[in-house]
Amino acid sequence: MPFAGLTFDAWAAASGLTGANALPEADPDGDGQTNFAEYVFHSSPTASSPAPQDVGTVTIGGQQRVTLRYRRWADREAAGVV
């Protein structure tokens, strides 16, 4: 998907989303990930694809914590995703 550098609205349009399916909180492919999560995780909003890519745990300072590994466009921070 050649969507690097796009704002959310431009990404949604380029992904073929329209109307209510183009809203950040929509989940048109029914995979449990909102469009905004699909945008952040660099996955498809029109084909079921789980994100994050990997889930695990790690112990830090005696406390167990959840770890997530996922794909994300490097420019999403510049687009306001932090």
Q: Is the pLDDT reported for residue 21 higher than 70? A: yes
> 15 or 68: which carries more pLDDT confidence?
15
Cα gap 75→49, rounded to integer Å: 21
What are the E-state strand segments in the chain?
54-60, 63-69
> 29 or 66: which carries more pLDDT confidence?
29
C-beta separation of 22 from 10 below 8 A? no
pLDDT band at 1 (very low <50, low <70, confident <90, very high): very low
Average pLDDT over residues 55-63: 86
pLDDT band at 37 (very low <50, low <70, confident <90, very high): confident
Q: Is the pLDDT reported for residue 20 higher than 50? A: yes
Closest by CA to 46, choosing from 11, 73, 76, 70, is 11
